[in-house]
């Protein structure tokens, strides 16, 4: 409610911001990504190994927009919840982003994004890396 209130002053609010605000009570409850991992909800897989799964974002913000997630959440709701025990999976996720970027032919470059918490516009509390590419990115981001 506090987060929603802080947004009410804005004249317009993107749907992604609304989703992030509505999801602004981070907890360890199962998310839509658990259902995707269990194949209860379909997704378009681009990469999978024993530790991570990558699939196309349902609302792509670039010609290539892929989400890379750990198969086991282990309390990793977002990057801000990372503990020392997560260092290996964090490295694995980042390295996987590079492997997929190559696989997708993003040879001119790409962008990695990790949204964290309400101010970071995070809407799904299961850590994920966004891999975006296939167009010229702008800086600073919105």
The reply on whether position 64 binds ligand TR5 by CB under 6 A is no
Tell me if residue 130 is catalytic.
no
- Contacts of residue 67, defined as CB under 8 A and 6 or more positions apart, other chains included, come to 33, 54, 55, 56, 57, 128, 129, 130, 131
Give, as ranges, the residues between 9 and 28 that touch ligand TR5 (CB under 6 A). Answer: 20
**Beta-bridge partner residues of 111:** 132
The reply on whether position 112 binds ligand TR5 by CB under 6 A is no
Binder of ligand TR5 out of 122, 127, 129, 131 (CB under 6 A) = 122
* Binding span for ligand TR5 by CB under 6 A among 2-10, 83-91, 94-102, 119-127: 119-127
φ/ψ (deg, to 5) at 140: -75, 155
Dihedral, CA atoms, 52, 100, 36, 59, nearest 10 degrees? 140
* CA–CA dist 6, 18 (Å, integer): 12
* CA–CA dist 134, 93 (Å, integer): 20
The reply on whether position 104 binds ligand TR5 by CB under 6 A is no
* Binding span for ligand TR5 by CB under 6 A among 80-88, 91-99, 101-109, 114-122: 114-122
- Residues forming contacts to ligand TR5 in the complex (CB under 6 A) are 20, 32, 41, 43, 57-59, 67, 115, 121-124
Q: Which residue numbers are catalytic?
A: 128
């Amino acid at each position: 409610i506090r987060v929603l209130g802080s947004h009410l002053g804005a004249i317009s609010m993107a749907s992604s911001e609304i989703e992030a605000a509505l999801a602004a009570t981070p907890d360890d409850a199962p998310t839509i990504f658990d259902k995707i991992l269990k194949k209860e909800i379909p997704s378009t897989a681009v990469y999978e190994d024993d530790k991570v799964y990558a699939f196309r974002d349902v609302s792509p913000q670039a010609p290539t927009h892929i989400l890379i997630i750990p198969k086991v959440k282990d309390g990793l709701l977002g990057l801000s919840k990372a503990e020392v025990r997560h260092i290996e999976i964090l490295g694995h996720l980042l390295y996987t982003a590079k492997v997929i970027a190559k696989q997708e032919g993003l040879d001119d470059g790409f962008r990695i994004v990790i949204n964290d918490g309400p101010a970071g516009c995070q809407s799904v509390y299961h850590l994920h890396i966004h891999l975006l590419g296939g167009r010229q990115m702008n800086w600073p981001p919105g």
